[in-house]
Structure 1
Amino acid sequence: MGAVFVPQLPPERLKSVAQAADEAGLDELWLWEDCFLESGITTAVAALAWTQRLTVGVGLLPVPLRNVAITAMELATVHRLFPGRARIAVGHGVQDWMGQVGARAESPLTLLREHLTALRSLLSGRRVTSSGRYVKLDGVALDWPPPRMPELLSGATGDHTLRLAGELADGTILTGGSTVAQVRRARGLIDEGRARAGRTDPHRIVVYLHCATGPDAASRMEAERVRWGYDTMDGHGVAGGAEAVAEAVRAWAAAGADTVVLQPTPDDPDPEGFMAFAAQEVTPLVHD
């Protein structure tokens, strides 16, 4: 179980929300590197430093914005500073945003394949030379690789990217609003990629679930429906108390999600309280 610190909140709010999640016993706090709001690595390191036991995820770092050597350096540093407490994903990013900054790739799939391949090699401590279409390295090796290869996560939505995630990543992040049927289908496509690569190791799926609680939950969720362009919120999220949310989490887990991350509305009146709600009211019901 996890919850999102949505980047529509100002960065200075992160400390109190992260500490509230840590003190409440939440398993995971997830952050986004959405353009042009807040950076992923900076916020992750701050949240990790401000807390004691909380796992902090970043979903995700857009690869068109990042040289793979920088990505590897940042991930290696985070995993050495906070062993076992970070879950950081890479992915295509939103193509319109990538276009805004002049970083849109002609073949996002090729870029992600090259980035994931080089990133795994660098984090494994190997010296890498690559002359791909996008990733070009000449004898690059990290001086401070992590002691153990960390979990390498990829975001994915399309069929080809889901298969690629199964082939090259250790876990996949699915976007908020993914339905139970979409999670089930994604699991099948990921498994196709895993089979193609001969992989038998675990592959964890993380999915964000729109969630609102409190007396105005229904109206705030309706605003989310409009914002994201859904015909209905049925199947895309849940509004209500702990029992209703726990039931929804169990449904998404049964479809193949290993981690369900509750995504509050940007106008949630009590982000710190939402963390406690997820940890202390919903999680015990899920695990019963």
Structure 2
Amino acid sequence: MQIGLAYGDVRGQRDLGVIAEQVRATSGTAWISQGPNLDALTTLALAGRGAGELGTAVVPFPQRHPLVLASHALTVQAATGNRLILGIGAGISRMVGGMYGLPTDRPARRLREYLEVLRPLLRGESVNHHGDTLTAVGSVAVEGAAAPPVLVAALGPAMLRVAGELADGTITWMTGPRTLTNHVVPSITKAADTPPRIVAGFAVCVTADEGAVRARFAKDFALAGQVPEYRAMLDREGVDGPADVLLVGDEDTIAKRLDQLRDTGITDLMLAPIGTAAEQARTTEFLATQHGHDRRAGPAGAR
């Protein structure tokens, strides 16, 4: 199981220069969430070339035509030495409809058509698609850019099936270990021809004041617990809200939680350190010791 770090809006970060510097310094996968502020793909392009992978988690696709997204993604590939993992998603329906006035019905159908167009475009192929939800005619060519792997933010059964059939894997957020084990991992694996990449995202804080951190997180992410897409996963997990799936506690507590998540069958963790500056620094320092490490079996037993 690989451990990567998340940056950007998910952590309330706004300084483009600071984020780019942190991304360049990340040895594992550096993930950028696409929020209402900084553009995730542009941020990764600014980070440039380095050692680790660069991922978006995720770019909502309804407001980005596949010809536009393919151009943007391949430009990032050229700028970064082909290190991009392109994570996309249907977006939160309340935002897609309320902010952009775009349709949110038939999300699985829209995702299927979008991937049927996007994947060939990323490979440099021409498309001539006139479908139920999408029209796309043309091609994109960026010299030196290879097609990036595509992961999909998929939670429900229909979306996981499409992700398994047409993408390289999935990315989840605030989805607990029970739901990963019993729903996400088996659903997408069954639909996929080859083993999918399964990235599970969590907020994390190494701290001596678990109660205070959990209370702040419950307040800051209260709205997320009401969003239907996340609410369904919290209900599957049997918890009340986002704070119940937060990874929080001292180093030993977090190490045990990481061991539990390794057993779910996921391939990657995307962890967003939260809390005070001191807590985030402590968290980041601890996570750097956990790459490829399984406390029960030693480094050779890591999956």
- After TM superposition, the score normalised by the length of structure 1 is 0.85
Q: Would you say the 8 A contact 1:68–1:135 is kept in 2?
A: no
TM-aligned CA deviation for residue 285 of structure 1 = 4.3
Q: Would you say the 8 A contact 1:3–1:29 is kept in 2?
A: yes
Deviations 1:70-109 (A, max 9, x none): 0111111111221342212111100000012112332222
Q: Which residue of 2 aligns with 1:4?
A: 6
TM-aligned CA deviation for residue 59 of structure 1 = 0.9
1:15 matches 2:24: no
Partner of 1:282, secondary structure, is coil
Q: Which residue of 2 aligns with 1:231?
A: 240
Q: Which residue of 2 aligns with 1:45?
A: 45
The size of the alignment, in residue pairs, is 275
Deviations 1:244-272 (A, max 9, x none): 2222122112101111111223x432487
Q: Which residue of 1 aligns with 2:197?
A: 204
Partner of 2:265, secondary structure, is coil
Partner of 2:81, secondary structure, is coil
Partner of 1:133, secondary structure, is coil
Q: Would you say the 8 A contact 2:87–2:152 is kept in 1?
A: yes
Q: Which residue of 1 aligns with 2:206?
A: 213
How many angstroms apart in 1 are the aligned matches of 2:82 and 2:145? 11
How many angstroms apart in 2 are the aligned matches of 1:133 and 1:232? 36
In structure 2, do the counterparts of structure 1 residues 271 and 244 end up closer, same or farther at CA, with 3 Å as the change threshold? closer
How many angstroms apart in 1 are the aligned matches of 2:62 and 2:267? 28
In structure 2, do the counterparts of structure 1 residues 15 and 55 end up closer, same or farther at CA, with 3 Å as the change threshold? farther
How many angstroms apart in 2 are the aligned matches of 1:3 and 1:250? 17
How many angstroms apart in 1 are the aligned matches of 2:136 and 2:122? 14
**One-letter code of the match for 1:210?**
A
Partner of 1:262, secondary structure, is strand
1:263 matches 2:272: yes
Q: Which residue of 2 aligns with 1:283?
A: 291
How many angstroms apart in 1 are the aligned matches of 2:286 and 2:210? 15
Q: Would you say the 8 A contact 2:60–2:91 is kept in 1?
A: yes
Q: Would you say the 8 A contact 2:207–2:279 is kept in 1?
A: no
Match of 2:176 among 156, 176, 179: 179
Q: Which residue of 2 aligns with 1:28?
A: 29
Q: Would you say the 8 A contact 1:32–1:38 is kept in 2?
A: no
Match of 1:153 among 151, 154, 171: 151
Percentage of identical aligned residues = 21
State the superposition RMSD in angstroms.
Answer: 2.5
TM-aligned CA deviation for residue 171 of structure 1 = 1.4
Q: Would you say the 8 A contact 1:217–1:240 is kept in 2?
A: yes
In structure 2, do the counterparts of structure 1 residues 95 and 107 end up closer, same or farther at CA, with 3 Å as the change threshold? same
TM-aligned CA deviation for residue 277 of structure 1 = 1.8
Partner of 1:75, secondary structure, is helix
- After TM superposition, the score normalised by the length of structure 2 is 0.81
Deviations 1:214-242 (A, max 9, x none): 33343112322343445267861321233
In structure 2, do the counterparts of structure 1 residues 167 and 212 end up closer, same or farther at CA, with 3 Å as the change threshold? same
Partner of 2:57, secondary structure, is strand
How many angstroms apart in 1 are the aligned matches of 2:20 and 2:41? 15
**One-letter code of the match for 2:54?**
V
Q: Which residue of 2 aligns with 1:85?
A: 83
Q: Would you say the 8 A contact 1:57–1:87 is kept in 2?
A: yes
TM-aligned CA deviation for residue 151 of structure 1 = 0.8
**One-letter code of the match for 2:102?**
A
| Ranges in structure 1 where 5+ consecutive residues have no aligned partner | none
1:244 matches 2:244: no
Segments of 4+ moved more than 6 angstroms = 232-235
In structure 2, do the counterparts of structure 1 residues 151 and 260 end up closer, same or farther at CA, with 3 Å as the change threshold? same
In structure 2, do the counterparts of structure 1 residues 128 and 17 end up closer, same or farther at CA, with 3 Å as the change threshold? closer
